[in-house]
Amino acid sequence: MEQKLLTLVVAGGILTGLCAAPCLAADSATITVKGTVGSACRLGDLSSSQIDLGQLSNNTDGTLASISGTPSTTITGSWCNTGSKIIIVASPLVAQGFAGAPSSGFTKAVNYTASASGWGSAIASDTTLGNSSGAESTSHSGSQTLNDPEANAITVSLSSFSTPASGDRLVADSDYEGTITVTLATNAAGSP
């Protein structure tokens, strides 16, 4: 884009020079140069594409363990040059190798709240709603909008882990897995 505009300015100068000597003694030509910057958002790179929570159950009674700290990963180098909307959608951690529904009192799913913070002052968060088999009967998501351009890191963190029913025991499985999808888009309503 910058190269194209520069070419036009140079060409204008040459034509003005050529016309000045053989033509009128005083003349002028103006060239209006315009450019536009479209709205765009860019999500940067993940510091890690997975958050490993380790052992999910405690070894005394098989119920959900207390997950220490706030497991997180960071998306660095994100920006939007206009108003934006950040959306987060999470799915429960579900035992991938356990076939069928678990026995009564057991669960093959762990729910949690996923949050995206650092993009403006508000936090977008979404809480999963899986039943003991991991199925969710309603769709859900969390979002927040920002009216101004922003360039910042986004931290994706997990918290508030729970089982579908209080006291559920977790079935054994070496692979519990859920996904968190973060979407960053321009928000026309919030554009300056």
Partner 1 sequence: MTRMAFSKVVSSLALIAMAAFCAAQATPEQAIVRAIGSVDQLCTLAAPQVNLGGADNIGSVAGSTVNIADLSDDQTLSSRATDFDVTFAAMCNFDHRVTVSSDRGGLWHQGGTTVPTGFADAVPYQAAFTWAGGSNVLNANAASESEVDEPLDINRPAFGDIVIHVHVDQGATNAGAGAPLVAGTYEDILRVTVGAQ
When binding is defined by CB under 8 A, the residue of 20, 51, 123, 129 that contacts partner 1 is 51
> In the complex, what is the shortest distance from the CB of residue 146 to partner 1, in angstroms, rounded to a whole number?
14
Cβ distance 178 to 97 under 8 Å?
no
Q: Does 129 bind partner 1 (CB under 8 A)?
A: no
Distance between CA atoms of residues 178 and 95, nearest Å: 9
Q: Does 176 bind partner 1 (CB under 8 A)?
A: yes
Angle 172-48-82 (CA atoms, 0-180°, nearest 5)?
125
Question: Which secondary-structure segment (H or E) carries 93?
Answer: strand 93-95
Residues 54, 59, 62, 66: is their CA dihedral positive or negative?
negative
How far from chain centre, in Å, is Cα 131?
26
Q: Does 124 bind partner 1 (CB under 8 A)?
A: no
How many residues lie near partner 1 (CB under 8 A)?
Answer: 69
Stretch that binds partner 1, among 56-64, 119-127, 136-144, 145-153 (CB under 8 A): 56-64
Stretch that binds partner 1, among 119-127, 137-145, 164-172 (CB under 8 A): 164-172
Residues 49, 96, 89, 123: is their CA dihedral positive or negative?
negative
Q: Does 83 bind partner 1 (CB under 8 A)?
A: no
Phi, psi of 8 (to 5 degrees): -65, -40
Binding site for partner 1 (CB under 8 A): 1, 4-5, 8, 11-12, 15, 29, 31-43, 46, 49-57, 59-62, 71, 73, 75, 78, 90, 93, 95, 102-103, 105-106, 110, 112, 114, 156, 158, 169-186
